[in-house]
Each structure stands twice: as structure tokens, then as C-alpha cells.
Amino acid sequence: RAEGEVGAPLCNRASILSVVILNVFVCCRLVFECGGNFTGYSGFIGSSGHPGVYPANTKCVWRITVPQGRVVSLLFRVMDLENDGLCRYDYVDVYEGHVSGQRLGRFCGTSRPGPLVTSGNKMQVVMVSDANTAGSGFLAAYAAVRPNEVGNRYCGGLLKKPGSLKTPNWPDKDYPAGVTCSWHIVAPQNQIIELTFEKFDVERDNYCRYDHMAVYNGGETSDSRRIGRFCGDSPPAPIHSEGSQLFVQFVSDLSLTADGFIGHYLFKPKNSTITGSPVTTAPTIPTTASPLEALCKQKCRRSGTIESHYCSSNFGKKAMREQSVLATFSITSVYKEGNLAIQQAGKTMSTKITVLCKKCPLVRRGLNYIVMGHVDEQGQGVISPYNFMMAFKNKQHRDLAVLTNVHC
């Protein structure tokens, strides 16, 4: 009949259409490989073989570059890696830039971190897996966004005009877990930066080991340039840069969160009068005879605590020393070594350290000390009266062991 003649071709057309749709879907499915270079305004990256199980014993590197004048935002859609509290086995690292950049965070498990934003137009993502794998890896979307125009969904970026910085979701709800925000504030030449906080509420911890905000002089994180590390619900005192740049980094772990903070920054001439509480910064080691002589004539008095000096020191250890300007320390325990050159003969470790002022800090042969200081370009330790040294007691093992887990 006429109905049958018409119906048959319609059925055939439907079958052909379904085949075509199926073929297009299969053709356009994203294939994720181990690393690569990615450019443009947006795109996706994923672990090798995603959504299948990622391979074992691999290291994959993705380098993302967006157009000049934009910054990179990265949003994880899927996170499914072997879980470990310290992410020691399988993990994803995210960095500023392509070479030796600041790490924005390390992630594992199944909790997705919040959006990550660089201060420049380049980002590097590294995934490492060990012999045992578990999960489908990760899937993330990257996009080129304008600095200062990323809204409450993002945080961080390059800031060149006076303004404000705040944690994600402020003030509507708590900041998200697992987020890292890095703000690089740059003032005009011959001006300094004043940073004040209107409200501040970050998970409290005696050592600020978990959620915290850290502020650095310059354009990157550096132990020797760290101005302070803050947490709790008391706003920090006004912070002033030494030069024309400040680097502010906020980190939240994967557990408790809080309201967050909002801060305001402005630029001032270098010779302007600065009001407010002074900020303690790591001192510059004198290189001429006159300043060094004046330094060593000052009254020798230790200030601060083990905790307050730990992050601002390049190395930290328990040691014994000989009475000499160039001293050899026999090391019994190392808690933080930085780039310090350490010699080892069998189980015996030692290092040479320049003590700038022979009588400050004053130590005696045969006693044990906790020593914190800085390292020069040759890897040799340097101790000035500003650095931290105190007699070691066995009960301090516990405090020092806790500090080794601090993220400076």
C-alpha cells in the first residue's frame, strides 16, 4: 500500500541518520596523550588514556600558553588519582610558567581543587604516577582570562593598579577547599606597596600549617624574602614592601574552610612616611667592613621563636660547632637543609658555616644547638646575629618534627 511504501524509506532514513550521528560522535571524541604543548584561548587537557585508568610509572608534562596580556585559568572537571594525605605517590602539580615556576599546588585523590590562575600567560601541569595506579586520572579545562577581570570564581593574577584582593566566594560563603591563589602586585618604579586587610578569617593553627596566606617581597616565593605567614581571625598589621613588588599567596587544604579575607593595596613614594606596625623582614647580610663591624657591636639578644624563624631560614639543623669564624658543624639531625652543602663520611655529616660575628651568637664546643641561617651562592651556610640559634633540648624533637610538615 501507499502507507507501506512511504514508511519503509522513512525507517531506512532513520537508520542511516543514527549511523551518521554515531560515526561523528566517535570521530570527535577527545584523545588524551601524555603531555604536550597547548596554545590558544581555551582547551582541555587530561591524563593519558582518560577516562580509562592512567598508566603506571609515568611523568607527563603539559605546557599551556595563552595570548599575551591574558592569564591562564585552570579548572579541574575530574580528579581521580591514588589517594594519599601528602600526595607522595600519584599526583598532579600545577606551576606558574614553563620552567622553574612557582608551584600553585599539588593534588591527588578525588577532591577537585578550586580554579587556579597564573600571574602570567604560561602554565605547566605535571602528572606523576608510581608502580601502582588507581583511577581515571584527571580532566581539566584551561582558558585565557584578563587579569583583574576573573570575578569571584577565580583568584590571583598580575595586579598593576591600586585595588583589592580577596579569596574566592567572598563575601557570600566560605572559600573553597583545595585552592591556591597567587597575586603578584607591581607598583611603578620608585614606589612601594602598602597592603592592609579589612577582614581576615582563615582556618586557625598555631603554625599556620594548613590554610594560610603568605606575603613576600619581590615577585615570587622565597624563604629569605618572606614577610609573614598568617592564619586565624585577626587581620595582619599593615604590610609594606621593600621595593616595588609584593607576592601574596593563599593556600587552602582539602579540609576545613572559613570566611576568607579581603585586602586593599595602594602605592606610595619610597620616601613617604609609613604608619602602622613595623614589619619584620629577613635582614641583608653586610658585605663591607664598616656595616659588619657595626652589626657585631650591637647587643646580642635572641628574638622570636623556632616557629617564627623556621620558614624565613634557608636551613635548620641540630649541630655542634668549633669556636671559629669559619666553623665546622657536626650534624646530628637535619630538619631543613635548603641548598646547604653537606659533607658525609660514613654516617657522619658535617658542614662549614661562616659566623659573621664571633661572639654573637656565642656557642661553646661540645654542646648541641638548633641552628637556622642562610646559604650563599656556593652552598656555604652563613649565620648573623639576626639568625636563630639556641641550645638544643630533647623535648624539642617533637616541635621540630612538626615543623618539617609546614608548607613555607
Q: What is the pLDDT of residues 284-294, one digit of tens each?
A: 334 344 456 66
Q: For the whole model, what pTM was predicted?
A: 0.42
* Cell numbers placing 325: 669564624
Query: Cell 636563630 maps to which residue?
Result: 388
With residue 4 as reference, give the H or E element that holds it.
Answer: helix 2-28
Whether 28-145 shares its CATH topology with 147-281 is answered yes
Is-contact 330 352, C-beta < 8 A? Answer: no
Q: Which residues of the chain have pLDDT under 70?
A: 1-30, 85, 100, 114, 147-154, 178, 254, 272-295, 298, 301-303, 312, 315-325, 344-347, 363-366, 377-378, 395-396, 404-408
Q: What is the pLDDT, as a whole number, of residue 368?
A: 81
The CB density around residue 338, as the number of other CB atoms within 10 Å, is 15
Q: Which of 265-275 are b and which e, b meaning 16 or more Cβ less than 10 Å from the residue's Cβ?
A: bebeeeeeeee
Question: Is the four-CA dihedral 289, 380, 373, 192 of positive or negative sign?
Answer: positive
With residue 7 as reference, give the H or E element that holds it.
Answer: helix 2-28
* Cell numbers placing 96: 606558574
Strands 36-39 and 59-65: parallel
Distance between CA atoms of 224 and 401, rounded to whole angstroms? 21
Is-contact 181 155, C-beta < 8 A? Answer: yes
Q: 147-281, what's its fold?
A: Jelly Rolls (2.60.120)
Per-domain boundaries in the chain: 28-145, 147-281, 289-403
Q: What is the pLDDT, as a whole number, of residue 145?
A: 81
Distance between CA atoms of 198 and 265, rounded to whole angstroms? 11
Q: What is the pLDDT, as a whole number, of residue 14?
A: 36
Is-contact 376 383, C-beta < 8 A? Answer: no
Distance between CA atoms of 111 and 260, rounded to whole angstroms? 20
Coil/strand/helix, residue 369:
strand
Q: What is the pLDDT, as a whole number, of residue 318?
A: 47
Q: What is the pLDDT, as a whole number, of residue 294?
A: 66
Distance between CA atoms of 54 and 325, rounded to whole angstroms? 55
Quick: pLDDT tens for 142-174. Answer: 998 876 544 444 577 778 889 999 988 888 888
Assess if CATH 3.40.50.720 describes domain 28-145: no
Quick: pLDDT tens for 326-361. Answer: 777 777 777 777 777 777 665 677 787 877 787 777
The CB density around residue 335, as the number of other CB atoms within 10 Å, is 18
Q: What is the pLDDT, as a whole number, of residue 275?
A: 43
Q: What is the pLDDT, as a whole number, of residue 200?
A: 95
Residue 361 preceded by cis peptide, ω within 30:
yes
The CB density around residue 391, as the number of other CB atoms within 10 Å, is 11
Q: Secondary structure of the chain: what % helix, strand, coil (to 5)?
A: 15, 40, 50
Is-contact 248 182, C-beta < 8 A? Answer: yes
Pick the CATH number of 289-403 from 2.30.110.10, 3.40.50.720, 3.30.70.100, 2.40.50.120: 2.40.50.120
Distance between CA atoms of 123 and 74, rounded to whole angstroms? 9
